[in-house]
Amino acid sequence: MVKFASFILMLALITSCGGGGSEDKIPEKPAPILVTAGVDQTINENTSLSISGAASGGVGEYAYAWTADATLTIEHENTTSADAVLSVPSVTALTNYTVSLTVTDEEGKTGKNQFTLTVEPINLLPDAIIEVSQMTDYGDNKFPVGSLVNLDASTSFDEDAPSDMPQIAAYSWQQTAGTLVLSSSELTQSTLQFTTPVSDQEETITVAVMVTDQEGASSQATVDIILLGQASTIPDLAVGTDVSVFTGERIALSAVASSKAPRAAPFSVTWQSSVNNEGSVARIGASDQFNTYAEAPLVSQTQSMQMVATIKDSFGNMRSSAVSVMVEPQTNVSMNDTGVTAYATNNTVLASYQSDYAGQDADFGNDRMALSGVADKTGRGAGGFDFTRLNENGDQVDNTALPWRCVRDNITGLVWEAKTLNDVNDIHHADHVYTWFQSEDNGNVAGELNTGAASCSVSNGQCNTEDFLNEVNSIGLCGFFDWRIPTHQELQSIVHYGKTTPPLADTDYFPFSGDSGSFPLWYWTNESSADGVSDSGAFNAWALDFKSGVDNFLNKSTMARVRLVRAGRVVIDE
């Protein structure tokens, strides 16, 4: 028992002497970081809010970091301060956001707190706008009968609309006054169309549009539309396209009047010509006809003119429109006109202008210029033809009573043989006929020599084109020795297609061209024909019939007339 007590005492002494002195303490645990982000708040949309917070605990200085929904914007440049600015977007309904503040001390320990931010929408009313597509010739918002009215509200806007959505969510049209015109229209689009009714009286109607924004707010705009009666409806007029003509040619004029007003007819018209820079006007055939013509005046240089049509309806309403006409001066040409100065319908040939068949040959070219009195001729001739007679020496014959032997075409420059009739032995007698023969340029078939024929006065008795030509050139005609057989185009240039009785040539200058009776009046050209080629040989040649004006290929052995030609203008391509 004594030993056990001694052991207890010794243990107590050892314990009291070991492990250090009485000043040693147990280390304390660091205090946590306590963060205050602020109280819950409510603000309006599209505004900014200054925010701040506080922190305690931790070690050393703090670093502050604000976070929130991505749609919120936080400006926090100095992270050693809790002060920041928060901006909120547009919202369409009451919206809650969580805003958090995280604080970090120098040892990396953090603390966090948050508050709830409630954003309230402030919805401004949208602005409703109606734009009216106006009509030319009428006052603002005035529309004639039967016309299309276009109303447009697409420029309506909402100042506080969400950026990612259309500003206007819905449109609703209605008519609030006047005769109903919207019954069949689409009333929920941004635009509205309707057609004005036909009425005898003028009337004002009112149309409204209600626009609704994305937040449900609405506003309305109205517009007054004046519906004009029939008596105030201006007629419509169409006058064709602009044209270009030469001096003296005819200009087809056509005016078409119409109106949406049923009682506007009948219409009348008046055509007028403007005065060009040279002081001249176009002569109009029948100025009170809807379909008529004008003759381009004589000009020395290109002139621009206007052919103006003015129509009037039964109410006295008028409208004018013009056709622009470019008038070119007469130019030097190297091709004859056709000689046609008459007009045709489907079944009749007439001398007068036919408005229902405008644009015929008789309206254009040298023939028309001659009839209009503006053709500048060197000699004379029917229609647009311009011929001069030459005597046996090639001199010009102005006295129509004197004889002549050749004819100069002042347009093409060609000089033509004139046929005779009195002496059957004259080599130029009108009734002489020949086969076609050419030693060269003959399509591999020279033709028929026609030896011993009695159809001509060629001295060697060979009545063919080449022997006739050679003999004339050996004798000379009108002092010239370079005569030739004409080409197809050259011979056709003197065909007078305006004549209704044969021969189809200007007989004042080409008399004795033949009395065809019931037979053609074939005249040879110098051109072989590809028709009828056999074994690479052209057995036919082209000829023109001065009875009908047509051409055809004839076998080279055929007996036909010949009219010699020489000279001609040289056409230089520019």
Domain edges within the chain: 34-120, 131-232, 238-328, 377-574
Q: Residue 83: what residue type?
A: D
Token pair 């470019």: residue: 326
Nearest-angstrom CA–CA distance, 183 and 173? 11
Q: What pLDDT score does 120 carry? A: 87
435 pairs with which residues across the strands? Answer: 464
- Find the mean pLDDT for residues 382-403: 94
Which pLDDT score is estimated for 192? 95
Q: Name the CATH architecture for the domain at 34-120.
A: Sandwich (2.60)
CA separation for the pair 225, 207 (Å, rounded): 8
- Cis peptide preceding 162, ω within 30 of 0: no
What is the identity of the amino acid at 194? F
Average pLDDT of the residues in 493-502: 95
Strand 63-67 and strand 95-104: pairing?
Answer: antiparallel
pTM here? 0.69
Q: In the predicted model, what is the mean pLDDT of residues 82-96?
A: 89
Question: How many angstroms separate the CA atoms of 527 and 539, rounded?
Answer: 11
Range of weakest confidence among 361-375, 466-480, 511-525: 511-525
Q: How far apart are CA 525 and CA 528, in angstroms?
A: 8
Please say whether the beta carbons of 522 and 465 come within 8 A.
Answer: no
Cα separation values, 91 from 104, 116, 169, Å: 33, 16, 15
Between 484 and 572, where is the model more confident?
484
What pLDDT score does 1 carry? 40
**Which of 167-176, 324-333, 379-388 shows the lowest per-residue confidence on average (mean pLDDT)?**
324-333
Which architecture characterizes domain 238-328 according to CATH?
Sandwich (2.60)
Span 285-299, mean pLDDT?
A: 96
pLDDT at 51 over 80: yes
The pLDDT of residue 574 is above 70: no
Instruction: Report pLDDT for 572.
Output: 46
The answer to whether 329 and 247 are in contact (CB under 8 A) is yes
pLDDT value of position 184: 72
Q: Is 478 left (phi over 0), alpha (psi -120 to 50) or beta?
A: left
Fold of 131-232: Immunoglobulin-like (2.60.40)
169-189 pLDDT, tens digit each: 999 999 999 999 998 778 999
User: In the predicted model, what is the mean pLDDT of the chain?
Assistant: 91
Over the Cα atoms of the chain, what is R_g? 53
Q: Give me the residue label for tokens 């074939």.
A: 522
**What mean pLDDT do residues 433-440 have?**
97
Are domains 131-232 and 238-328 of this chain identical in fold?
yes
| Three-state SS sequence of 162-223 | CCCCCCEEEEEEEEEECCCCCCCCCCCCCEEEEECCCCCCCEEEEEEEEEEECCCCEEEEEE
Mean pLDDT of 106-112: 91
SS3 488: helix
Q: Residue 20: which pLDDT band, with cuts at 50, 70 and 90?
A: very low
Which of 120-124, 446-450, 484-488 is predicted least confidently? 120-124
